[in-house]
Amino acid sequence: MSDVKRYIVAPDEDGIRLDRWFKIHLPQVTFAYLNKLTRTGQIRVQGGRAKTSTRLQADQELRVPPLMFDTRPADAPRGDVKPLTKDEADLFQSMIIFEDKDLYVLNKPPGFAVQGGSKTFQHLDGLLMGLAKKSGERPLLVHRLDRDTSGVIVVAKRRSIASALGKLFATRAVKKTYWAVVKGVPKPPQGRIDVPLLKDQGPDGDRVRAGDKNDEKAQHAITYFAVVDQAPPITAWVSLKPVTGRQHQLRAHMAYIGHPILGDEKYDGNANMPEGISKKLHLHARRIVFPHPREGVVDVSAELPAHMRETWGAFGFDPDRYETDVE
């Protein structure tokens, strides 16, 4: 096919997973779409079939078939990209909670999409496109958060940093802490959820469900949880630490143990909500800690969004009082 694109894996990308490579170079390709392409054998590495989890090696050739949208590299020059408006620039600036010459750490508001999609006209990746230099180089997403999840998200200022961070995020070198408010009070108050997850298509769109460990399609997923404070029998504030990073992992795992996150429409968290409590999702990426690609350690925490602060106040939870216990 004349429209097939061929890419060579860069030396500093040796060992990167295929799905991570796509997140950096072709972020328009969703994981679901990439999974379909690999499952049908349309993605080739050195002429052979590949999986989303395939580790790439430096100088390997990656063949990508014609896609349904613009496939220029994420930081390629684009004549059609417009600079940010004042409102967009102010919005982006309001999210920044850490910045150096290599990266940003942002506090993403709830309800703000990370990437575009059907009926999504404003999103974080669109703002990053508006920050492109004349050379075409622009900030790149390193990972994602669900639209309705708030909190810390890391953005690299250039491709080499995105590649280095992509490798870090593929390991356990990155430590993430999420805060959530769940229905009921988990017992025991802390534990480890080791339940593989399967992608599922429900009436409300993509979701995941618990799978069997013997099912090859099920993705390995582990989450640690701990109750920080509680208002029995109604609700509890929990700290969540994912070991793996599957789609909807925290939401599906908490629902699996019978304590869905408040406001979670996909996983029964919005049924019988406590009176006066916001119906927005109560899941916040509170803190991230990882080795800086150059030197030192990045350790950043994000303040709770307004609706979660109101819920903390309604149940008498005090984030400042418990800060050292839950981080």
In angstroms, the Cα distances linking 122 to 87, 96, 117, 229 are 12, 17, 10, 36
Residue 320: the pLDDT is 84
Q: Can you tell me whether residue 88 is helix, strand or coil? A: helix
What integer is the mean pLDDT of 291-317? 96
Q: Is-above-0.85 flag for pTM?
A: no
Rounded to whole angstroms, the Cα distance separating 44 from 64 reads 7
What's the average model confidence in pLDDT over 110-122? 81
pLDDT in the model for residue 309: 97
Contact 97, 107 (CB under 8 A): yes
The CATH H-level superfamily of 86-169 is: Pseudouridine synthase (3.30.2350.10)
Residue 325 has pLDDT above 50, yes or no: no
| Dist. CA 284–CA 268, nearest whole Å | 18
Nearest Cα to 148, choosing from 27, 313, 317, 305?
305
**Contact by Cβ (8 Å): 125, 115:** yes
Residue range 64-77, pLDDT digits in tens = 998 765 445 555 54
pLDDT at 230: 97
Per the document, the length of the chain is 327
Q: In CATH, what number does 175-326 get? A: 3.30.2350.10
Strand partners, 241: 224
Domains 5-64 and 86-169 share a fold: no
Q: Is 129 helix (H, G, I), strand (E, B) or coil?
A: helix
Q: Hey, where are the domains in the chain?
A: 5-64, 86-169, 175-326
Task: Tell me the pLDDT of the chain averaged across its residues.
Answer: 88
**Cβ-contact 139, 96 below 8 angstroms:** no
The predicted pLDDT at position 11 comes to 66
Catalytic residue positions, numbered? 146
Q: Which CATH superfamily is domain 5-64 in?
A: RNA-binding S4 domain (3.10.290.10)
Return the H-helix or E-strand segment holding 226: strand 222-231
Instruction: Give me the mean pLDDT over the 210-217 stretch.
Output: 86
pLDDT tens-digit map of 182-198: 999 999 999 999 999 99
